[in-house]
Amino acid sequence: MPDEPLRSEALRSPAGTHDVLWPESARWEWIVGDFAKRASLYGYRLLVTPVIEDARLFARGFGETSDVVGKEMYTFEDRGGRPLALRPEGTAPVVRSYIQHRPVLPWKVWYLTPAFRYERPQAGRYRQHHQIGVEALGVDSPLLDAEVIELAMSTVRAAGLTNTELLINSMGCKECRPAYESALSQYLAARQGGLCAYHHEHWKEVPLRVLDCKTEECRGATMDAPRIADHLCSDCRESFDTVLGDLDALGISYTTDYRLVRGFDYYTRTTFEIVSHSLDAAQNAIGGGGRYNGLVEALSGPPTPGMGFGIGMERLLVACDAEGCLPVPDPSVDVYVADLGQAGTSTLIHDLRNAGYSVERSYEDRSLKAQLRSAGRMGARIALIIGQREAAAGEVLLKPLALDDDQVVVARDVIVHVAGKWVERCRRHLAAGRVAERSR
């Protein structure tokens, strides 16, 4: 059936996925560029790992009872019968890569990755979302925890967000968590009747997750539940106090939240989430992370502590929309070159681009007037016009479109230099206008 037209659903991005078109993609560029620079200041280097991994990596890493493994993973067998999964997050692949390559510790990496989870699509919740994040392996220090949180917070602040809250908790460690879990289980067993329908049946699987349940029933029933902060061993207590003390010193405010247990079993000690109060409570986490000191070992690597976070690109951007920050960067082109198809135009355009200016032109045979209309529509800062007269005289007519100044005739051999000066003048003028507008 090669000629049968495709049905309409085949021509739409699959449910829960989306295309990122310009100008939205311009904001992505800005965020990723800013994050790459920021992460490198903290010593993180880019790591790129495959989108597919052995499915057993995630089952082992997150715990079989986690929602991601139980309900949300995209798993399949490839043609060779291998069990694969589309990565649902970025941490386990980093740990796998560490175990495979054994780089020198501490190993600090950052990433931009798509993540796939079969969830019910809704505002801010996708089946393919994207995360920027970092992982630091080989350092078990609360000073690193505070620094990682600082990096996450500064990323969110750089986008202009202010209506956010940093929630923080400690999950304890393998020494103190079991006693806490049994105190929580005793408490829940006595209140099973008050839990939501799902947790009424399933609370025993991971009692901690009941604390995280958003239903009114579970929230009410766990109001007076034992809190992990009261059950930490002295090492975990000391570590948590140091994290909080360092955040205080860095001027980062936070709220300790005993309900913050997060969805993966790998967390130990510090966990955190950055929530936006401008978003609907069901999807208000912009980013989250924490320490995972047992994960490398759980994945059959040598005991190695780890700490990191992931920030959801889509969530970050909807929060920006809600707060009216991070506007689309100015898309205007610097120079529009209008000509009559003369031979030297491509070289001129090449020289301008090489000098760092964005340039547009017409690729078709159009009148100079029509080309100048396009220049106006594109918001070009200046136009360079090469008509018959200019071509014959070895000159270019420079028209500053962003300023009221008159057009000037410029010799062809100095045009790149002169055009650059005019572009800079226009940029300064436009920037001053934007500042004046903001202060009005």
Catalog residues that contact ligand HAM under the rule CB under 6 A.
Answer: 89-91, 117, 119, 124-126, 129, 131, 133, 135, 263, 285-290, 308-310, 312, 314-315
Long-range contacts from 286-289, C-beta under 8 angstroms, 24+ separation: 286/156, 286/161, 286/164, 286/311, 286/312, 286/315, 286/316, 286/319, 287/133, 287/152, 287/155, 287/156, 287/311, 287/312, 287/315, 287/316, 288/262, 289/133, 289/148, 289/152
Q: Least separation, in Å, of the C-beta of 276 and ligand HAM?
A: 9
Please report how close the Cβ of residue 274 comes to ligand HAM at its closest, in angstroms. Answer: 8
Q: CA–CA separation, 43 vs 29, rounded Å?
A: 21
Nearer to ligand HAM, 288 or 294 (CB): 288
Cβ nearer to ligand HAM, comparing 34 with 217: 34
Cβ nearer to ligand HAM, comparing 273 with 334: 273
Beta carbon of residue 269, minimum distance to ligand HAM (angstroms, whole number): 12
CB 38 within 8 A of CB 154: yes
Read off the tokens for 201.
Answer: 């049946």
* Minimum CB–partner distance for residue 295 and ligand HAM (Å): 9
Per-residue burial over 14-38, b if 16 or more Cβ lie within 10 Å, else e, is: eebeeeeeeeeeebbebbeebbeeb
What whole-number distance in Å separates Cα of residue 364 and Cα of residue 313? 38
**Nearest-10 crossing angle of helices 55-62, 91-101:** 110
Find the shortest distance in angstroms from Cβ 288 to ligand HAM.
Answer: 4
Measured from the CB atom, the residue of 65 and 346 that comes closer to ligand HAM is: 65
Describe the crossing of helices 345-354 and 415-439 by its angle, rounded to 10 degrees: 50
- Least separation in angstroms between residue 95's CB and ligand HAM is 10
Cβ atoms of 376 and 355 closer than 8 Å: no
Minimum distance from residue 286 beta carbon to ligand HAM (Å): 5
Nearer to ligand HAM, 156 or 419 (CB): 156
Q: Which residue, 118 or 187, has its beta carbon nearer to ligand HAM?
A: 118
Q: For 3, list phi and psi in degrees, rounded to 5.
A: -95, 0
Beta-ladder partners of 312: 131
CB of 291 to ligand HAM, least distance (A): 8
Q: Which is nearer to ligand HAM, 263 or 379 (CB)?
A: 263
Q: Shortest Cβ contact with ligand HAM: which residue?
A: 312
- Residue among 61 and 226 whose Cβ is closer to ligand HAM: 61
| Closer residue to ligand HAM (CB): 207 or 289 | 289
Tell me the closest approach of the beta carbon of residue 125 to ligand HAM, in angstroms: 4
Question: Residue-wise over 55-87: b if at least 16 C-beta within 10 A, else e?
Answer: bebbbbbbbeebbbbeeebbeeeeeeeeebbbb
